[in-house]
C-alpha cells in the first residue's frame, strides 16, 4: 500500500454519519478524540476524522455511538480547504480498512440456557434451594 498507514484508539465524539457516494457506495464518517496516555492534562484534545466504505460502513454506522471507544487502522490523508471566511484550513482523515468498537466482546453473547427443572429463583446446580 502506498501512503502513510496508522492505527489509533479513541472515543467517538458524536454518532456516525452514514451517507452514500455518487455511485451509491455506503460511506460512514465519525470524529474521534485520540486516546493518549502521555498527554498532559491541560493539553488540547486531538481529533481525527475516520471514514470507512462499503460493507464495513454499513456494519459500523449503528455501532459507532457517542462515547464508544474504538480501534481504527488505515491510510492517513491530509485534506486542505478554504473556510467560509477565506482562511486556509487542513485536517487529517483516516481512511479505515479496520474499525472496531472496543470493550464490547462479552455483551452480545447469548444467555446460557436456564435449567428448566429448577424453579424460578432457585440456584440450580448447587444442591441448595432458595
Minimum mean pLDDT range among 48-52, 76-80, 113-117, 125-129: 125-129
pLDDT of res. 45:
85
User: Has residue 68 got a pLDDT over 50?
Assistant: yes
**What is residue 106's predicted lDDT score, i.e. its pLDDT?**
41
Please give the Cα distance from 69 to 58 (Å, whole number). 18
Q: For position 1, what pLDDT does the model report?
A: 56
Domain holding 80: CATH number?
2.40.50.140
Mean pLDDT of 66-95: 92
Question: What are the CA-CA distances from residue 76 to residues 4, 39, 55, 98, 109 (Å)?
Answer: 6, 21, 20, 13, 34
Residue 123 in any domain: the answer is no
Residue 113 lies in a domain: no
Q: Is residue 116 part of a domain?
A: no
Residue 3's pLDDT band (boundaries 50, 70, 90)?
Answer: confident
Q: Are 78 and 62 in contact (CB under 8 A)?
A: no
Number of domains in the chain: 1
Interstrand relation of 88-101 and 69-82 (parallel, antiparallel or unpaired)? antiparallel
* pTM assigned to the model: 0.71
User: Is residue 109 situated within a structural domain?
Assistant: no
Structural domain of 26: 4-101
* 96 located within any domain: yes
Is 124 within the bounds of a domain? no
Residue 111 covered by a domain: no
Residue 57 neighbours by CB distance under 10 Å: 22
Amino acid at each position: 500500500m502506498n501512503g502513510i498507514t496508522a492505527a489509533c484508539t479513541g472515543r467517538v465524539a458524536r454518532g456516525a454519519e452514514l451517507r452514500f457516494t455518487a455511485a451509491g457506495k455506503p460511506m460512514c464518517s465519525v470524529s474521534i478524540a485520540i486516546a493518549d496516555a502521555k498527554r498532559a492534562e491541560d493539553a488540547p484534545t486531538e481529533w481525527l476524522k475516520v471514514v470507512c466504505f462499503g460493507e464495513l460502513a454499513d456494519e459500523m454506522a449503528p455501532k459507532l455511538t457517542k462515547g464508544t471507544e474504538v480501534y481504527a487502522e488505515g491510510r492517513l490523508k491530509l485534506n486542505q480547504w478554504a473556510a467560509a471566511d477565506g482562511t486556509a484550513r487542513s485536517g487529517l482523515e483516516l481512511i479505515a480498512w479496520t474499525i472496531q468498537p472496543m470493550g464490547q466482546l462479552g455483551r452480545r453473547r447469548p444467555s446460557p440456557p436456564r435449567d428448566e427443572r429448577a424453579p424460578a429463583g432457585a440456584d440450580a446446580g448447587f444442591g441448595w434451594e432458595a
